[in-house]
Amino acid sequence: MLNTQIVSVDKNRPEGYKIKKAAEIIKTGGLVAFPTETVYGLGGNALDEHVAKKIYAAKGRPQDNPLIVHIHSLSQLDELVKEIPTRAAVLMDKFWPGPLTIIFHKKDIIPYSTTGGLDTVAIRMPAHSVALELIKESGVPIAAPSANISGRPSPACAEDVAEDLFGKIEMILDGGPTSVGVESTVLDLSEKVPIILRPGGVTKEDLEDVLGCVNLDPGLAPGEKPRSPGQKYRHYAPKAQMTVIEGCMENQVKTIQELTKQLESGGLKVGIMATAQTRHLYTRGYVISVGDRTAPLTISSNLFTILRKFDRLGVDRIFAEGISKDGIGLAVMNRLYKAAGYKILKV
């Protein structure tokens, strides 16, 4: 077991000596969890094939699940990819730094262990001062999936990281809670019409404003095979069995109330992921508001934190209200579906 250091860092003015200490771990082949605007990442040297294997081992992650490579400047990108398509350049100018990951054809400098055996590499530039300073000080691009045990809810704060990875990595940089709360959008530009492989903080509407028509990977639908290797695995799951309830708000509340009553009569403990608009309507279960339906960013930023709260409460079942798929709501529902193992009840 490793002696994991937890180091608090000011996200507004990251202390140089703390960043340098973390960067030394990266340079020498170790792993550091660090905050980004989306979720906390588990970072290591993206150019070291042995480090990628360490990341997979710490997370318990399948090795055909590609790692996203994080950079701090466009000059780094030239060293890593064979070409930068015009559409990619336009997107980078608009959305980098930010929660958008773009797929490129990789140069040989990036080992296949980082890309899950693919000739392409997923790259983004995070919009977080701690992340950018760490990448810059390390002197190498940093491969970083979410800093959690594979399949568990992604970490929105350092405490979540410690819960899963303490003793398995060298350091956790604690920069406070994340803001977006769900992982970056992953975009494939290899087709005539760009394809979103994973919805995230940059919305489909945002991308269409720049590119025109943008498609969703058909594999994002329940029961379909995804194009992105990482999307075929179970993700974000709480310990309790979870069901997403979709329909009008009134029907959602009525159905969840009835199901909760049935389960509680059998001695089960039920968690209800409500919204600000419905929390007061529930009279049963352990009710937590995930955010405001009219401001879905409040929901995305709280989503994984609430799932972990239900774990700590020890609930046996969870019911989550579905929301509109407009904007970042698409990413929220994608995460809810996967957390529930696509157990969806339409009412």
Binding site members for L-threonine = 38, 70, 124, 184
> Which residues sit in the known binding site?
38, 61, 65, 70, 120, 124, 144, 146, 154, 184, 198, 236
Q: H/E/C letters for each residue in the chain? A: CCCCEEEECCCCCCCHHHHHHHHHHHHCCCCEEECCCCCCEEEEECCCHHHHHHHHHHHCCCCCCCCEEECCCHHHHHHHECCCCHHHHHHHHHHCCCCEEEEEEECCCCCHHHHCCCCEEEEECCCCHHHHHHHHHHCCCEECCECCCCCCCCCCCHHHHHHHHCCCCCEEEECCCCCCCCCCEEEECCCCCCEEEECCCCCHHHHHHHHCCCEECHHHCCCCCCCCHHHHCCCCCCCCEEEEEECCHHHHHHHHHHHHHHHHHCCCCEEEEECCCCHHHCCCCEEEECCCCCCHHHHHHHHHHHHHHHHHHCCCEEEEECCCCCCCHHHHHHHHHHHCCCCEEEC
> Which residues sit in the known binding site for ATP?
61, 65, 120, 144, 146, 154, 198, 236
